[in-house]
A and B are shown apart, each in its own frame.
Chain A
Amino acid sequence: MNLRFLGMKAFRTALTLWLVVTFVFVVLRTSGDPLVSLLPADSEPEVIAYYRTLWGLDRPLPVQYLRYMAAVFQGDFGISLRDTRPVIDLVTERVPATALLGLTALALALMVGVPLGILAAVRRNTLLDRLTMAFAVLGFAIPNFFLGILMILTFSLTLRWLPSSGTGTPWHLIMPACTLGLATAGALARFTRSSMLEVLRRPYMRTAQAKGVAPGGRILRHALPNAAIPVVTVLGFSLGGLIGGAIVTETVFAWPGVGRLLVSAVAARDLAVVQGLVLLIAATMVIANLVVDLLYGLLDPRIRVASVDA
């Protein structure tokens, strides 16, 4: 592994995260006074002044920024303005629920999207292909909240098969995971299909047939690994999309994850929590992209192995 390459990647990752923290900090501090929404409307000026000093909001913006950054470097994301608990605690107790939901949705999307994409490519221009692509378009055209409500109406209120909200049993996970995963499944199906179509045309596929490799082996062993590279790219983007989508999905299904925490924190102008969460989302995105970059290397020998004169 090339150390210089890793160093560059790490530097860019850090730079991106710093930009995100700074941006969020500036936007939140300049878009209104958090004390107005946190304290009762008829609070005494002395009370407001007290909290302003307590939370350091009376200091000049650059000072607040430096103090915040110094704290972040020590793993201290501040205290929630609303319930006075450390942000890090609030966030970490919500992460498992979101991780469970996000990863289940991603697994569903992979299990549905990739095989559908392969089938559509292999059965190109058939009814199956058209149905699959219709499903894919539908998947990312339907907004999350709408699909969520539709599912609740159908499976909870009408059929009474699944619980409409909350957590606890695997049954609770089904509807939120489907809602969240559908768009990704659609995107994966489309990209897998076009990537497979591209690969199926390659001369080495004909070589495999000339060798006598059966159709199943040709598709799974010869086409799929080569088609996987663009699909992995989509997977990286999708991971970010899943967290964004979780904000809406968690709200619709009252799922106790970071998405709902973010919504309530924004509504309450709980600056410290919003900053912490945005940083978490950004970090997930950046790390997902880093993983994708490294996966390219693992998937493509042309990147992994330097060209040498054999």
Chain B
Amino acid sequence: MPVLAVEGLSVRLPGGADRPFAVEDLSLEVRPGEIVCVVGESGSGKSVTAQAVMDLLPPDLAVASGSVRYSGRELLPLPRAERLRLNGRDIAMVFQEPIAALNPFYRVGRQVEEVFRVHGAGDGAERRRRVLALFEEVRLPDPARVFGAYPHQLSGGQCQRVMIAMALALEPKLLIADEPTTALDVTTQAQILSLIRDLRARHGAGVLFITHDFGVVAEIADRIVVMQTGRTVETGTVASVLGDPRHPYTRALVAAVPRPVPRAQRAATDARPVLAAEGLRKVFARRSLFGAGRRTTALDGVSMTLAPGETLGLVGESGSGKSTLAQSLLRLVDVEAGAIRLGGDEVTRMGERRFRPLRRRIQIIFQDPWASLDPRQTAVDAIAEGPIIHGVPWADAIERARRLIAQVGLDPQAGDRFPHQFSGGQRQRLCIARALAVEPEILVADEPVSSLDVSVQAQILALLDVLQRQLGFAMLFVTHDLRVAARICDRVAVMHRGKVVEEGETAAVFAGPRHDYTRTLLAAVPGRAWFDVAGVGAGAGAGAGGAEGRA
């Protein structure tokens, strides 16, 4: 008997939404010990499906019809209190942003213990013992110490392990994981995926795994359900859907997954670098209200050069110092030692007044296109502001803005709209247009596609490539995703703990990584085994076993 059987489920959206149903006529099944991946882009209804199963729907969404059976028992007609009793005991959930999903007010041990307390299992000492055993099982270092830690004291990966421990506490028969690795670094993602596979094997629970990334699907799924705007478009086993996708939408999603295959090499130039840094050093001192401060070395003697028209990838995980490096090159962060040269100008300690006219030459786009546009400025105004500040006459600047809007692939008529009237991908296009409006020699892109769906990612990367060929700017591309770096960078610099541990042409680094850390990063790329089988292998190092432990 399937542990979860959803049949003809429809969830109604509030009036005024772009469609009547968030989820429409959805059917799926999860059998014990099986991992079923629900795949789709933002807005496809995959998270709403999970929420409907656990009675976690926001108040403005309601189940309109259908059936949800847990181990043969129909859940939808049950009273809320009854369904709440199933939560945590029979069905458990792991969420996307582990740090935000834990209550900042309580120690994490207590939060896991609460599952036992709420469901009346064991006394105080017994509960603590069981939590420590769970922490051990999810491979948290020093369980006793983690038990007494607050969420903010743990890393994202550690918080996700705590969440998984919490979900497993009462050995639920069904585990729902809603994008559990999307907010994590690649190496942490690989560890969490392997943990979920192991635990499934050991506890025999069914897993409903939600993701937008087919690379992750290839790593973990037994069966796949592809969703588009609330409907199922394709279902099948991993081999059938990945090997031979039938529906055009599935094919598009599969094609959008960035392969860890380096792009074709472009001719190197011997021209003088447009940007160079030497021996940069930056230490952040953090003081806390109670207790001693802490010092973190974000940059530890970092050097780099960027030639005209080339793209240098800055690759590394959170805390590696890559964003600090990008910001210090823009003089948004001041370094303690080292030198930065922008073209022929030494700018390391140049006063802001003297540096301001040079800012035109180096522009940045950020990770979050939602937060980096002023909500009260129209697209044209946002783009024209930079040129106007740098002395371009108003009418010319507006005209240039409209031209750029067309150039980044948006309807020129859309220029008078406000940021909230654009989608995430469109906003990132606007941010690119804004950065390019002052005709910079260098574009710094700080994780520009990390918050976007894979299909939108592919479009933005293609756009950056085309624009670079048309306009000839050099690009410093900061990313934690090697697949993305492979797609767009001529050279990559791998950063680890404030140092560049390896640098070279992308193809060379991918083919023969010299540093252990680079090899670890390459091995952690989700979906490697699938890429290898599919004949698009990276040709580097040993692949991570994607199919181990599959039932």
A297 contacts the other chain (CB 8 A): yes
Question: Which residues of chain A from 122 to 141 have a CB within 8 Å of any chain B CB?
Answer: none
Q: Of the 9-residue stretches B101-109, B352-360, B400-408, B436-444, which lies at the interface with chain A?
A: B101-109
A212 contacts B87, CB within 8 Å? yes
In the complex, which range does the number of interface residues on chain B fall in?
Answer: 35 or more
Query: 25 A–B contact pairs at CB < 8 A?
Result: A1-B290, A2-B290, A203-B97, A206-B56, A207-B93, A208-B103, A212-B87, A212-B89, A217-B118, A226-B103, A226-B105, A301-B150, A305-B153, A305-B290, A306-B286, A306-B291, A306-B293, A307-B152, A307-B286, A309-B155, A310-B142, A310-B145, A310-B149, A310-B153, A310-B158
Partner of B87, one of A209, A222, A310: A209
Partner of B290, one of A206, A207, A303: A303
B289 contacts the other chain (CB 8 A): yes
B95 contacts the other chain (CB 8 A): yes
Q: How far is the CA of A309 from the CA of B318 in the complex (A)?
A: 14
- Chain A contacts for B97, CB-based, 8 A: 203
Closest to B319 in A: A309
Query: Other than the known A2-B288, A207-B95, A212-B85, what 17 A-B pairs have Cβ atoms closer than 8 Å?
Result: A2-B290, A206-B95, A207-B93, A209-B55, A211-B87, A211-B114, A213-B114, A214-B81, A214-B118, A300-B105, A301-B105, A302-B152, A303-B288, A304-B290, A305-B288, A306-B290, A310-B145
A9 CB to nearest chain B CB (Å): 10
B87 contacts A210, CB within 8 Å? yes
A156 CB to nearest chain B CB (Å): 46
Closest to B169 in A: A211
Partner of B100, one of A2, A204, A209, A210: A204
Please encode chain A, from 192 to 217, with 1 for each CB lying within 8 Å of some chain B CB and 0 for all others: 00000000001110111111111001
Q: How far is the CA of A202 from the CA of B105 in the complex (A)?
A: 13
Q: How far is the CA of A68 from the CA of B159 in the complex (A)?
A: 59
B119 contacts the other chain (CB 8 A): yes
Q: How far is the CA of A286 from the CA of B97 in the complex (A)?
A: 40
Please encode chain A, from 214 to 234, with 1 for each CB lying within 8 Å of some chain B CB and 0 for all others: 100100001001100000000
- Chain A contacts for B87, CB-based, 8 A: 209-212
B294 contacts the other chain (CB 8 A): yes
- Chain A contacts for B290, CB-based, 8 A: 1-2, 5, 297, 303-306
Given the interface contacts A212-B88, A306-B291, A307-B288, does A207 sit within 8 Å of B153 by beta carbon? no
B115 contacts the other chain (CB 8 A): yes
B86 contacts the other chain (CB 8 A): yes
B154 contacts the other chain (CB 8 A): yes
Partner of B294, one of A204, A302, A308: A308
A301 contacts B104, CB within 8 Å? yes
B84 contacts A209, CB within 8 Å? yes
Question: Which residues of chain A from 263 to 310 have a CB within 8 Å of any chain B CB?
Answer: 297, 299-310
Q: For chain A, what secondary structure do more than half of its interface residues adopt (helix, strand, loop), or is it mixed?
A: helix
B-binding residues in A (CB < 8 A): 1-2, 5, 202-204, 206-214, 217, 222, 225-226, 297, 299-310
Partner of B166, one of A202, A211, A304, A306: A211
Please encode chain B, from 132 to 172, with 1 for each CB lying within 8 Å of some chain A CB and 0 for all others: 00000000011001100110111100100001001000000
B54 contacts the other chain (CB 8 A): yes
Given the interface contacts A211-B115, A310-B145, A310-B149, does A203 sit within 8 Å of B56 by beta carbon? no
A-binding residues in B (CB < 8 A): 54-56, 81, 84-89, 92-93, 95, 97, 100-105, 107, 114-115, 118-119, 141-142, 145-146, 149-150, 152-155, 158, 163, 166, 286-294
- Chain B contacts for A213, CB-based, 8 A: 114, 118
B289 contacts A297, CB within 8 Å? yes
- Chain B contacts for A1, CB-based, 8 A: 290
- Chain A contacts for B107, CB-based, 8 A: 301
**Most B CB atoms within 10 A — which of A5, A208, A211?**
A211
B287 CB to nearest chain A CB (Å): 8
A249 CB to nearest chain B CB (Å): 36
B88 contacts A210, CB within 8 Å? yes
B118 contacts A203, CB within 8 Å? no
Closest to A296 in B: B289
Q: How far is the CA of A207 from the CA of B159 in the complex (A)?
A: 13
- Chain A contacts for B56, CB-based, 8 A: 206, 209-210
A204 contacts B101, CB within 8 Å? yes
